[in-house]
Chain A
Amino acid sequence: MADFETPEVKEYLDMPGLKPDAMSHSQPFVSRDEFQEPLGFPGELVDDWQNVAIAKLGELLDKNRGLQVFMDACVKCGACTDKCHYFHGTSDPRNMPVARQDLLRSVYRRYFTWPGRLFPKLVGAQDLTEEVLDQWYSYFHQCSECRRCSVYCPYGIDTAEVTMATREIMNAVGKGQKYSNEIIGKVFKIGNNLGLPQPALQDTLEGLEEEVKEDTGVDVRYPLDEKGAEVLLVTPSADFFAEPHVDGLIGYGKVFHQAGISWTLSSHASEAANFGLFIGSPENMRKIALRVREAAEELGVKRIVFGECGHAWRVAYSFLNTLAGPFDFLDPRYPVPQHICEVTHDLIQRGALTLDKSANDHRRVTFHDSCNVARASRMGDTPGGQFTIPREILRAVCNHYYDMPPDTIGEATFCCGGGGGLLTDDLMELRVKGALPRMQALRQVADEEGVTHLAAICAICKSQFAKVLPYYGFEMDQIVSVHQLVSDAIVLDPAR
């Protein structure tokens, strides 16, 4: 393992004492020109980067009311200071949300407000120096854009928005992050984050059909690019091969099979994830989102359904209508888009699925609310449906379900530690430390209720937990997909 210590899991989450600069060394790999240019960003740090950065900040303040209000409104009350999982895991004071925002706000004050121009020291304003840019690169890549702090801010200041704006500024001056930008390039070139071309997808899906046939004796279909299907399913590309993701994909197929709904995946929109969100680039986010619209039009589907992916659901639920709508060519009886959990939940409610709960009796399950689903989207008709619907599904497919402590779930949920474009090996220390609050809550239900499995509906959460669980004394296969549990409980009829 690496050259850092895994934080100790205690009975309660302690308030960390401040350790300034404890994580200033933590930076992801900087992007190169080959990854920058497809996104429309300069390949390396431009010569007059200060001017470009200040101009970009000015442009964002004009174009985004939220950013302008968030820069002005903070009173330094301290409500957010103990809300960030990275602060709990690292003790670095710059991982307190307000201190992270202040890295940008200090520059905003220096160049855009009179007190900052006249009395910089007095109001905590500072020049945009190379050192500040370096701190931006460190600490705006220690925010997973999870919005937990925004729940507790009396003005709703959302550090995620500040992080996105600063990453957009850094991309504009040529200091992008390799991980996110390389992945966006792959989506443009091939259609998904993992760079799986159409033949590879076809092959994988045929393999899944054989596997399900062997397991169950039933012909469940996993179709690709089938024109005229009713549903286009857009799912994170991790679902095509990685554990436990692929077990979720198997589950979606079984649900559609049992409900008699014809469906298809698309090789053109073979990715639900949209890393344009992470880097705060509306143009790139729209370009990725438009692929979903193009696929839906091309295949002539009537509905769009998204698979288990947290930030993808935020972009889909909250932004897709704006970025790629209106979707008046789809069946108006269904919301656009739908979450696979909404589909499954509705079928369970209507009694359309036969479920054998005892198939999951060897598991005692808890549910991890993924941040983007919890605090940036909804499921169903009523606020909070994003919390109740997955839980009702889980209770319908397992006999042993237990929630983690209330201050760690729902809108108060803790990030897995790998969201927001940080799910990369060059940030392993940050990811392990940032997982501390979730691991502490999991340890508690594991000890008190004998919980054995953590179910999630986010590809990033699943990958992150598979990697960090062992650091905290758990097994990597204790993380499961919600639709994996559905898959195991569902009683299949032969193909109709």
Chain B
Amino acid sequence: MTLASIVFAVLFYAATAILLIGVGLRIARYARAPAPLKIPTTPAPTTRTGVVGRMLSEVVFFYSLFKSNKWIWILAWVFHLALLLVLLRHLRYFIEPVWGWVVLVQPFGVYAGFALLAGLVALWIRRLFVERIRYISAPSDHLMLGLLVAITASGLAMKFLWHTDVTAVKVFFLGLLRFEVHPLPTDPLLLLHLLLVVALMVVFPFSKLLHAPGIFFSPTRNQADNPRERRHTSWVARVEPTGAAASSEAAGAAPNARSED
């Protein structure tokens, strides 16, 4: 048992807790806040099924971004797809035996690592050299790209330049899942890689990374366009007379119940 393994065990438990609780609280806040009015950006689907399709087109293909700007779209899409593959590749550190499809993903995960780096660097170049995007960037926007580039580069360096004992790394993480602390290799590059990942997990609930859960709650994308057919109610709605006068009316939906649509 080394000092590094204890420190990193604590860091990963803390970071995981902050990530899960932080994002969980944020999602709870989004879910609880009412949608006062129907504001889908039209033309919009008129049914819930249609809304699921629209949301998929956004989450999977970044359709609105595609309509906006092909350069940002291709770079962002390559970056996110590569990130997904790289994360899936990393699953092998957390499961034993390794599932068949995770084995299949491994070589693609390596190519994806390069695509990830290329996408990030290209996005950063845009941010630095396109006047409009430089104008809207805060230091944190550059830092976020820097953090992701550093994580990716350190990971690739371990794969191709300075190897670490990945078997020991796996034993360490499998141990964490069973609340046991096993020795973690102390190669500087590995420790740097893991430290940056911890940083990413910690900033997630407090940064623009909230776009990931946020999109599912975005009313311009997740509402059906059916205001004439179904009365949307909220605190903005006209309050109807209650009591004896109202009880004789034929009942539809509860008049001022909050529709989560």
B-binding residues in A (CB < 8 A): 17-18, 61-66, 68-70, 72-83, 93, 96, 98-99, 102, 113-115, 121-124, 147, 150-158, 161, 282, 285-286, 290, 293, 317-319, 321-326, 328, 335-337, 374-378, 382-384, 386-387, 411
Contacts and interface: CB of A to CB of B under 8 A. Distances in A.
B238 A323 contact: yes
A276 B46 CA distance: 26
Contact of B39 (A121, A122, A376): A376
Given A73-B215, A78-B130, A122 B139 contact: yes
A304 to B, nearest CB: 11
Interface of B: 26, 29-30, 33-39, 41-46, 58, 62, 64-65, 67-69, 72, 76, 126-127, 130-133, 135-141, 143, 203, 206-208, 210-211, 214-215, 217-221, 225, 227-229, 231-238, 240, 249-250, 252, 255
Contacts of A76: 127, 133, 136-138, 141, 208
Contacts, number: 222
Contacts of A150: 41, 220
Contacts of A78: 69, 72, 126-127, 130, 132-133, 136
Given A75-B211, A374-B42, 16 more contacts: A63-B36, A73-B211, A115-B206, A123-B138, A124-B138, A153-B64, A153-B68, A156-B220, A322-B232, A322-B234, A322-B236, A322-B238, A326-B231, A328-B250, A375-B41, A383-B42
Given A66-B220, A80-B68, A99-B135, A386 B39 contact: no
Nearest to A411: B43
Contact of A151 (B67, B69, B252): B67
A421 to B, nearest CB: 17
B211 to A, nearest CB: 4
Nearest to B144: A75
A147 B41 contact: yes
B234 A317 contact: no
A66 B34 CA distance: 9
Contacts of B210: 72-73
A68 B65 contact: no
A317 to B, nearest CB: 6
A77 B41 contact: no
Which DSSP category, helix, strand, loop or mixed, fits chain A's interface? helix
B231 A322 contact: yes
Given A76-B208, A102-B136, A383 B41 contact: no
A113 B38 CA distance: 27
A365 B67 CA distance: 28
The 7 residue pairs across chains A and B that have the minimum distance between CB atoms? A124-B138, A73-B214, A152-B68, A156-B220, A383-B43, A65-B33, A79-B68
A82 B133 CA distance: 10
A182 B206 CA distance: 41
A161 B36 CA distance: 12
Contacts of A115: 140, 203, 206-207
A374 B225 CA distance: 13
Contacts of B229: 335
Given A157-B218, A317-B228, A122 B138 contact: yes
A467 to B, nearest CB: 28
Nearest to A161: B39
Contacts of B232: 321-322
Contact of A321 (B203, B207, B221, B227): B227
Contacts of A317: 227-228
Nearest to B37: A319
Nearest to B55: A156
Contact of A83 (B35, B68, B76): B68
Contacts of A286: 236, 238
B132 A96 contact: yes
A92 to B, nearest CB: 11
21 contacts: A64-B35, A65-B34, A68-B30, A72-B210, A72-B214, A77-B65, A78-B69, A82-B132, A83-B68, A154-B62, A154-B68, A155-B214, A155-B218, A156-B41, A156-B215, A158-B220, A282-B37, A322-B231, A326-B231, A378-B225, A383-B45
A324 B231 CA distance: 10
Contacts of B220: 66, 150, 156-158
Contacts of A282: 36-37, 236
A148 to B, nearest CB: 10
B227 A73 contact: no
Given A73-B208, A78-B133, A156-B215, A383 B44 contact: yes
A337 B227 CA distance: 10
A64 B220 CA distance: 13
A322 B35 CA distance: 12
Contacts of B130: 78
B255 A326 contact: yes
A378 B43 contact: yes
Contacts of B64: 79, 151-154, 156
Contacts of B137: 76
Contacts of A383: 42-46, 225
B42 A121 contact: no
A282 B37 CA distance: 9
B69 to A, nearest CB: 5
Contact of B140 (A123, A154, A293): A123
Contacts of A61: 33
A63 B214 contact: no
A18 B130 CA distance: 11
A285 B126 CA distance: 42
| Of A61, A77, A81, A147, most B-chain CB atoms within 10 Å | A77
Nearest to B135: A93
Given A77-B72, A335-B228, A63 B42 contact: no
A114 B206 contact: yes
A322 B233 contact: yes
Contacts of A335: 228-229
A175 B44 CA distance: 35
Given A154-B58, A155-B211, A65 B219 contact: yes
Contacts of B29: 68
A110 to B, nearest CB: 12
B235 A96 contact: no
A77 B76 contact: yes
B91 to A, nearest CB: 26
A54 to B, nearest CB: 18
Contacts of B237: 322-323, 325
| Of A115, A293, A322, most B-chain CB atoms within 10 Å | A322
Contacts of B218: 66, 69-70, 73, 155-157
